[in-house]
Amino acid sequence: MTAEFLKKFAISPQQLWMKGTPWGGGHTRETDPVLQGWRLKARSLELCIIGRKANGGGVRGCASVMTLTDRFDVAIYDDLTPKELEDKFKAGERVQGDEYFQVDDCSGWALKVIDKLRELHQSQ
């Protein structure tokens, strides 16, 4: 009974990352990141990947996000798809990011990551 009771209170990594409403609120069809193809995939309680999903594994330009106390460390990978980055992490590879920054843990924090990814791809 105890194990079954504890399962009810277990939280998956995906639920934990989505708890703080990374996309914020008040979106229209035109501004909703999920409708634009953006995804957040939790790898663990401490690490997630943000990128755009497309046929064949994703669109180049993604980010990994690690939790700190009240901020997130973000690494941008300009030439990798989310699938390629995840495969490298699974293989235990150390992947050097192209750019690093931090964002506050507040509603809509992932929009800052998306803005940075868009900015990098517009300048190319």
Q: Taking CA 42 as the corner, what is the angle to CA 1 and CA 12, rounded to the nearest 5 degrees? A: 10
Res 1: pLDDT:
45
Res 77: pLDDT:
96
**Residue 95 corresponds to which tokens in the numbers above?**
């992947």
Residue boundaries of the structural domains of the chain: 11-122
Contacts of 8 (CB under 8 A, 6+ apart): none
Contacts of 118 (CB under 8 A, 6+ apart): none
Residue 12: φ, ψ to 5°:
-80, 160
Separation of first and last alpha carbons in the chain: 58
Res 49: pLDDT:
94
Position 88, amino acid: K
The per-residue pLDDT string of the chain (124 residues; one tens digit each, 9 = 90 and over) reads 455 544 555 556 666 666 668 888 888 888 888 888 899 888 888 899 999 977 666 789 999 999 887 889 999 999 999 999 999 999 999 999 999 999 998 889 999 999 999 888 775 5
